[in-house]
Amino acid sequence: MRSMSKYGNKKVSVDGILFDSIKERDRYMELKLLQRAGEISKLALQPEFILQIGFTDGMGNKHRPIKYIADFQYYDEKKNRFVVEDVKGYSTPYYKMKKKLLLYSYQDLYFVEI
């Protein structure tokens, strides 16, 4: 199954999972091999991080939480730490702002852009 995203990436499916790009799918396949080899464990797709909780303002308007959704999270067995990865082809100003909030809110996080 293939379709185009708003940034021109080709959406692709593997293992019943729809990825936003070929690059993201390829990284998933690499991570699966690393997991099979025992180099990483606990591979998770689309982990969510809360940047701001939801709230109701003084006027009674409800605001949803602001979330950062990464592409992958896994445990690196050699370096003894969790890693959060985002596969990027193009960084929007919105993405850059949310990434900055993520790094501020989760200062112990080991974050990688591929």
Q: What is the DSSP string of 94-110?
A: HHHHHHHHHHHHTTT--
65 three-state secondary structure: coil
Range of the domain at 88: 3-113
Pairing of strands 81-86, 111-113: parallel
- DSSP line for 10-29: EEEEETTEEESSHHHHHHHH
Does residue 113 register a pLDDT over 50?
yes
Average pLDDT, the chain: 93
Residues 40-80 have pLDDT tens digits of: 999 999 999 999 999 999 999 999 999 999 999 999 999 99
Is 4 or 34 the better-scoring residue by pLDDT? 34
Strand-pair partners of 10: 4
Does residue 22 register a pLDDT over 60?
yes
Is residue 74 within 8 Å of residue 31, measured between CB atoms?
A: yes
How many structural domains are present in the chain? 1
Q: What's the whole-model pTM score?
A: 0.85
Longest Cα separation, the chain? 55
